[in-house]
Amino acid sequence: MNAHSSRQRAGDPQFSSYDVVVIGAGLAGLTAANILGRAGHRVLLLEQHDKLGGLATWFKRKGHIFDVSLHGFPVGMIKSCRRYWSPEIADAIVQLKRIHFDNPMFSLETTFDRRDFTRLLVERFGVAPPAVDAFFDAARQMNFFDDQSVTTADLFERYFPGREDVVRLLMEPITYANGSTLEDPALTYGIVFSNFMSKGVYTFEGGTDRLIGMMADELRRNGVDVCLRCNVDQVLCEGGRVRGVLVHGRPIAARAVVSNANLLGTIFDLVDARHWPADFLEQARQVRLNNSSTQVYFGIRAGDTIDEEQCGDLLFTSTAPRFCAQSLLSRDVTSRTFSFYYPRTRPGHNRCTIVASMNSQFADWADLPPEEYRRAKQALIDDTLQCLEKYVPDVRQRIDWMECGTPRTFARYTKHWQGASFGTKFEGLAVSRAMPNVIGGLYHAGSVGIIMSGWLGAVNYGVIVANEVDAFLLNNSSQSSFSEETALP
């Protein structure tokens, strides 16, 4: 255990030298910092925003607390939190039992697990049971080493040829969840879908603020130094190795650096280009960002309740006649996911809130002048409210707060290039993994590809990278320091 205590506050780091500096307090950065602190390394966690969590965040308005990205994650989060965080965190993870779909092809309720999907596919969609079983088995057996030329569209065509309705049921929630398309490698779909299908969709009781608060306590217990409002301007490298970071003009030496910032931001904004070999930079230039999101947040007056049976926990709604991943990105919104939060999901808080999430493109919002931006946001709120009225009677009179977030909001608070909600597409994973081979001691842990993003993916990626950093530190035990060669402005 470290001798110094953790401090969750803005301001200067306590020491000028650490074993590891973690840049960014998203779920991957937090988890990596916690594991490395627990292992006895001297860890500094630097976050540019004024709170921990990254995209796992919340905000308060007029007595309401709005969760931004707590819509659902797979059961695997319980095990990861128990092992790498604390039993108390793991014990607060509970299932969302009512998942609703409503679109021109079908309306149904499900617990979103293999057993219930099998029932629906057989009884409701009339698919032969052997085809359903074969599909689930194939999806579950997928792994990183599979042939990446097989697309998700190929997978569906193999098991459910010509069944657009079945594809919609199986694919639409995953597209909403992480922007993946039918053209992505089938393994990215198979792994994420199977994670959900194993036992359904889960949430954190008490909300994101409670989770992040408990994580902050755990970091403190494990001796991690935490500094908020500390933007890392540069990762300092020399002789093919990382040497530390530059924060507020001050160099901090480190034997290893883990960047939880956007992959492309890490490579092109934080590290001087001369430290990267040309072929690595070329590979990084080919990496595509994932899409961004828009959201509309509705607060229901204190004491008023929403009918849980009617609305469920999650509602995937669409007016599009057919499923099309591209149309889910359009500013002309036809498809939305509503998350309903009841007082029971936040015990002790007598409020219901509703969050509508839509996939969207940064380019559609980036350059709107102020008045047009304001009008576009209002139009999004109005359209979403109109859609919501179909499911919650008189909702207009029952709401006392409405607000919307756009790709610009996500870019502003997390510095993700183009406000990407899930980092990069799948090809980003190879670049992220290659980083320490190119600059010794420099690691990346954060949303890349579909598998390594989302709450569970980010936590698990933090674990993988923390283990690698731990091994690196044990094998490279010399103290960190700067030589005169290290470039400082």
* List of residues contacting ligand FAD (CB under 6 A): 23-29, 46-49, 54-56, 68-69, 71-73, 231-232, 260-261, 293, 295, 357, 410, 414-416, 421-423, 446-447, 453-455, 458
Q: How far is the CB of 253 from ligand FAD (least distance, A)?
A: 17
Q: Which is nearer to ligand FAD, 127 or 339 (CB)?
A: 339
Tokens of 472: 């690196």
Token representation of residue 337: 């996911």
User: How far apart, in whole angstroms, are the C-alpha atoms of residue 213 and residue 82?
Assistant: 16
Tokens matching residue 235: 């990762």
| Paired strand residues for 292 | 360
Please state the closest distance from residue 205 (CB atom) to ligand FAD, in A: 15
- What the block records as the tokens of 432 is 């992220």
Kindly report the number of other CB atoms within 10 A of residue 69's CB atom: 23
CB closer to ligand FAD, 55 vs 284: 55
Least separation in angstroms between CB 32 and ligand FAD: 9
Which CB sits closer to ligand FAD, 223 or 405? 405
Minimum gap (Å) between residue 82 Cβ and ligand FAD: 17
Q: What are residue 340's phi and psi, to 5 degrees? A: -105, 125
Calpha distance 57→72 (Å, rounded): 14
Least distance CB 260 / ligand FAD (angstroms): 5
Name the closest residue to ligand FAD (Cβ): 26
Nearer to ligand FAD, 18 or 422 (CB): 422
Residue (151 or 447) nearer to ligand FAD, CB: 447
Question: Of the two residues 32 and 187, which places its CB atom closer to ligand FAD in the complex?
Answer: 32
Contact 403, 296 (CB under 8 A): yes
Residue pair 423/291 in contact by the 8 Å Cβ criterion: no
At its nearest, how many Å lie between ligand FAD and the CB of residue 237? 15
Q: What's the closest the beta carbon of residue 390 comes to ligand FAD, in angstroms? A: 22
Nearer to ligand FAD, 299 or 446 (CB): 446
